[in-house]
Amino acid sequence: MSAEDTLPWVEKYRPQSLDDIYGQTAAVGTIRKFASEGRIPHLLFYGPPGSGKTSTIIALARELYGKNYRNMVLELNASDDRGIDVVREQIKTFASTRQIFTTGFKLIILDEADAMTNVAQNALRRVIEKFTKNTRFCIIANYANKLNPALLSRCTRFRFSPLTNDAINGMIDHVCKSENLNITNEAKISLIKLSGGDMRKALNVLQACHASLDNPSTEEIDQDMIYDCIGAPKPSSIDTMLNAIMKNDWSDAYNTLIKIRRIEGLALVDLITSFVEILDKYTLKPQTRRLLYQGLADIEYAISKGGNDSIQSTAVIGCIKNALECESM
């Protein structure tokens, strides 16, 4: 087994160049233009997890500086060293060492900057100004609104959206091909849906499913494996439960719900989310819909406040049955 084989796929398939980034065409296009003109501003990347922020800046560094890009790049994880003093020292040392062989600026990547305290962010704007002559900063965050406006105004912003289905599909196809992995179309569609635009999640689930196959060269990954691996309720189980609640008497509905939940180890909140997804597609009177969603929302809130699980389970059944009674009136 080589080192390659033991790597998590998110690392093994981390984009090596800007061309390898799936989706994010607007952001990548603009960044490439800046790079080709040799005038990179301070950058701010923000967006949800697993959308390619860290990968994009590393790919850019590789394109700017070649294989030994690490000498020219300082990567700081802002959420490790929250104190600004540590950050400032590291930046100062890095920015002030002479570049002997290369010209141009160095790159400082401040990942997860939204975890920095407000005081630290404030101090950072002075640091940025001081070292602009020979360094460029790339600030990365999940939420731009957690960053200090003064910091924001010093950077060119790039929003990384959750990845589209096409982008995730492209990557899954690529990985399956390199790994000689077979996946049913149905499973792939579920994987894309459940990953919610997060490529890291998609790859991790795919790798876990791959690991659970006894013989990956002949077996294929099916839809149930994807659901089992994520721990999300299977569509068939959701159908069975919802049908029992809508059509059967109370005790049968209750027993079906409890049984399936126990076998599959499902959390009640996940059930509610799945029920809502299905009920969304039903044609219902507006009044029914209001009752239904308001009721389910209350239950979801009660769960988050530590409400008793079996009581909340019965509340879900009651809420759906009530709403349906309203529908038939």
Chain residues binding Mg ion by CB under 5 A are 54
What minimum distance in Å lies between the beta carbon of 126 and ligand ATP?
26
* 124 touching ligand ATP, by CB under 6 A: no
* 275 touching ligand ATP, by CB under 6 A: no
Binding mask 31-50 for ligand ATP (x = CB under 6 A): ------------------xx
* 195 touching ligand ATP, by CB under 6 A: no
What minimum distance in Å lies between the beta carbon of 58 and ligand ATP?
8
User: SS3 letters for 67-94?
Assistant: CCHHHHEEEEECCCCCCHHHHHHHHHHH
* 288 touching ligand ATP, by CB under 6 A: no
Q: Which residue has the tokens 């049984």?
A: 259
Return d(Cα 147, Cα 127) in angstroms, integer: 16
* 197 touching ligand ATP, by CB under 6 A: no
When the beta carbons of 132 and 142 are compared against ligand ATP, the nearer one is 142
Return d(Cα 62, Cα 31) in angstroms, integer: 13
DSSP codes joined into one string, 182-230: EE-HHHHHHHHHHHTT-HHHHHHHHHHHHHH-S-TTT-EE-HHHHHHHH
Binding mask 127-146 for ligand ATP (x = CB under 6 A): ---------------x----
Q: Which residue has the tokens 């600026």?
A: 105
DSSP, collapsed to helix, strand or coil, labels residue 141 as strand
Residue 295 binds which entry of ligand ATP, Mg ion, none, CB below 5-8 Å type-dependent: none
- Residue with nearest beta carbon to Mg ion: 54
Return d(Cα 65, Cα 105) in angstroms, integer: 10
Residue 197 binds which entry of Mg ion, ligand ATP, none, CB below 5-8 Å type-dependent: none
Residue 182 half-sphere exposure toward CB, CA atoms < 13 A: 9
What minimum distance in Å lies between the beta carbon of 14 and ligand ATP?
4
Q: Which residue has the tokens 């069975």?
A: 240
Q: What is the CB neighbour count within 10 angstroms for residue 112?
A: 17
Residue 223 binds which entry of Mg ion, ligand ATP, none, CB below 5-8 Å type-dependent: none
Find, among 196, 204, 198, the residue nearest to 175 by Cα. Answer: 204
DSSP, collapsed to helix, strand or coil, labels residue 154 as coil
* 15 touching ligand ATP, by CB under 6 A: yes
Residue 135 binds which entry of ligand ATP, Mg ion, none, CB below 5-8 Å type-dependent: none
Return d(Cα 264, Cα 76) in angstroms, integer: 41
* 256 touching ligand ATP, by CB under 6 A: no
Pick one of 27, 44, 53, 60: the residue that binds ligand ATP (CB under 6 A): 53
Size of the site for ligand ATP (CB under 6 A): 21
What minimum distance in Å lies between the beta carbon of 202 and Mg ion?
16
Binding mask 198-217 for ligand ATP (x = CB under 6 A): -xx--x--------------
When the beta carbons of 24 and 223 are compared against ligand ATP, the nearer one is 24
Stretch 154-183 residues interacting with ligand ATP (CB under 6 A): 163, 171
Return d(Cα 316, Cα 319) in angstroms, integer: 5
DSSP, collapsed to helix, strand or coil, labels residue 248 as coil
Binding residues vs ligand ATP (CB under 6 A): 10, 13-15, 21-24, 49-55, 142, 163, 171, 199-200, 203
